[in-house]
Structures are given as C-alpha cells and as structure tokens.
Amino acid sequence: MANLSYIGLGMMGGRMAARLLSKGHAVTGYNRTRSKAEALAGDGLRIAGTPREAAAAADVTFVMVANSEALKSVADGGDGFIAGLSAGKMIVDMSTVSPALSRELASRVRGTGADMVDAPVSGSVLTLEQGKLSIMVGGDRATFDRLKPLLEDIGPKVTYVGANGLAVSMKIATNISVAVQMLAFAEGVLLAEKSGIPRQTAVEVMTHSAIGSPMLQYRGPFVLQMPGEAWFNTTMMQKDLRLALEMGRELGVPLPTTSTTNEWLTATRAIGLADDDFAAVFQALARAAGEQR
Ligand SMILES: NC(=O)c1ccc[n+]([C@@H]2O[C@H](COP(=O)([O-])OP(=O)(O)OC[C@H]3O[C@@H](n4cnc5c(N)ncnc54)[C@H](OP(=O)(O)O)[C@@H]3O)[C@@H](O)[C@H]2O)c1
C-alpha cells in the first residue's frame, strides 16, 4: 500500500481520496476549505494544513483543483506543493487545466528531483462512484508504469497518451463533445416538446436511442429534474470550452460547434445559472424558444 496525499477534495477529488482510502492506502488530504477534508477524517484521512505539508508527507501526491489559477495557487509559494517535493516523489495532476501550464509545472517539479504526470479524467461523480472512470496520462513512460496500479484503484481505464501536457490536451478534446451533445440534446427535446410530445417521453426516447451516450444517459434526465448540487457546473464547462477554443486558435483547427455551444453557456450564465449543472443550457434555450419561467 502506498503513502499518498490528495490536494483538492471537491466533488471529484474528495470521492477519489475516499476511493483510495477504501483500497487500504494511507492518504493525507489538503483542501482550501478545510471542512471538506474534515468530512473525510472518519474514513481515515489525515489532514494537512498546507499543500506543502501534503506533498512532504507522501510518495505520491494527487492534485484535483478547479482550474489553472487554482493549480498555481496550490503549487506556488512557501506553502505550495512544489516546496514539499524532493527526489523520488511523484505528482499526479488530475485537474483539467491549460496544457502549457501543465508542461511548465512538470518542468518545475523535475527541478526538485521529483516527477509529474498530468492525469485528467473523463466521467462524472456517478462514473467515479461506479468505478468506471477513464484516466488519460501524459509524462514520462517509466513514471506512468510505476503509477498505473494506483490509477487503476481509481478508475479501470488508464491510457498512456504521450509526453507531459498531452493528456490534458486529450481531455479537452474529449470534453468538447460532452457540451456539444448536451446542447444538441436540448434542441431535440425542445423540438419534440413544442410538437406536443411530453418532455419526459422525449427524454426517455432520446436517451435510449442511438444518440444516448453514457453522458446523455445520466445527464439527459437533468432537463426534467436538475440535481440539487451541480455535477459539473456551467462555469466549469465553459472553462473547458475556452481551453479548447484557445487550442483551436493555436493549432489552426476550426471548432464551429464548440464556439456555438460556448455562446449558449454564456447565455446560461447570463440568466443566473452559472453554478447550476451545465445541463441548464436547456433552460437558456427554452427561454429563447419562448418558454416562460
Ligand atoms: N465534476 C466532474 O464531473 C468532472 C469530471 C471530469 C473532470 N473534472 C475536473 O476536475 C477538476 C475539479 O472539479 P470538481 O468537479 O471536483 O470541482 P469542485 O467540486 O468545484 O472542486 C474544486 C476544487 O478546487 C479547489 N479550488 C478552487 N479554487 C481554488 C484556489 N484558488 N485555491 C485552492 N483551491 C482551489 C476547491 O477548493 P474549495 O473546496 O476550497 O473551493 C476544490 O477542492 C476540474 O478541473 C474539472 O474540470 C470534473
């Protein structure tokens, strides 16, 4: 069993830390809002006061924070995790952030004698709880080989993608479809409903049809009943689309459906649904279709 740390115990990170504890690993946890770490103390989580303390306490430190700014804030400075690293330690950054930042951070981590891989995930809280998460890994191949059994304790599908930063590029490329599919689904449900078909029937037919991807099967029903707490909120989804649009500009790849979906997520935030699950894009579209709320 490995000596692990987990930095960032939000929707995803908290569940992953719990999963690692349930597999018998010793896990130290850090979260900016300490109460989320304390909630896992009953499962055996030891609590660190700073990211530096977390990294110093473990051979392998996982990181899963919201975005590039959050990653910088837990990595840098006297209390940041880089300050807690030394030769032989490993960082596994699972956050979806800018590929350039991920590469830069990996190079700074190597400067301490430690190593880092980017290991973002595709899936949701449900996929994670069901043990069906897909993990992509970028970095040194030998480091990946050492980490693979640990990553398999989180999700069964672990794929080596290539050098540092490429796994986050892969993840961003994948997440385009999550948002675009949700918008197309919203369009279809509204079209059916305006034709006189009950919304519930439309959702049932569409999620069980050829277009019913694993994502639509769990998120499609959100247009009938939104979850109390967002599984992945509108702001976070838009963060991923913006990363994709930046990559598209840099690499000369037109992303027409990403651009359109991004605009609809702006509209969703504009009607006050930034913190709702991004399935709320349905509500923005429904309003544009004349539905009163
Ligand atoms: N939810 C999903 O379905 C899903 C799926 C795949 C990938 N992801 C990716 O997983 C990552 C985390 O997502 P999540 O759903 O777990 O989000 P979340 O529940 O909002 O958790 C975000 C985490 O980041 C921390 N954080 C945010 N800003 C920070 C800052 N400035 N300094 C330090 N810590 C900060 C939060 O700390 P506090 O608790 O103090 O706010 C929390 O631990 C994101 O990169 C997301 O794109 C999410």
Distance 8 CA to ligand 1 centre (A): 7
Is 35 exposed, middle or buried (CB count within 10 Å of its CB: 0-12, 13-18, 19+)?
exposed
What's the mean pLDDT when you consider all of the chain?
Answer: 97
Cβ–Cβ < 8 Å for 51, 80: yes
Q: What is the pLDDT of residue 293?
A: 65
Mean pLDDT (whole number) for 151-173 = 96
Q: Which residue has the higher pLDDT, 131 or 85?
A: 85
Distance 108 CA to ligand 1 centre (A): 22
Q: List, in sequence order, every beta strand (DSSP E) within 79-220.
A: 90-93, 115-118, 121-122, 134-138, 157-162
Mean pLDDT (whole number) for 228-245 = 97
Cβ–Cβ < 8 Å for 80, 30: no
Give CA separation, 63 vs 207, 246, 267, in Å.
33, 23, 31
Mean pLDDT (whole number) for 37-66 = 98
> Which residue is catalytic, options 36, 72, 132, 171?
171
How many Cβ atoms from other residues are within 10 Å of residue 189's Cβ? Answer: 25
Nearest CA to ligand 1 atom 23: 65
Mean pLDDT (whole number) for 145-157 = 94
Residue 91's SS3 state is: strand
How many Cβ atoms from other residues are within 10 Å of residue 30's Cβ? Answer: 28
Q: Which atom of ligand 1 is nearest to the CA of 122?
A: 6
Is 171 designated active site? yes
d(CA 91, CA 87): 12
Residues with CB under 6 A from ligand 1: 8-13, 31-33, 36, 64-66, 69-70, 73-74, 95-96, 121, 123-125, 231-232, 236
> Is it the case that residue 24 has pLDDT exceeding 80?
yes
Least confident of 2-6, 242-246, 263-267, 273-277: 2-6
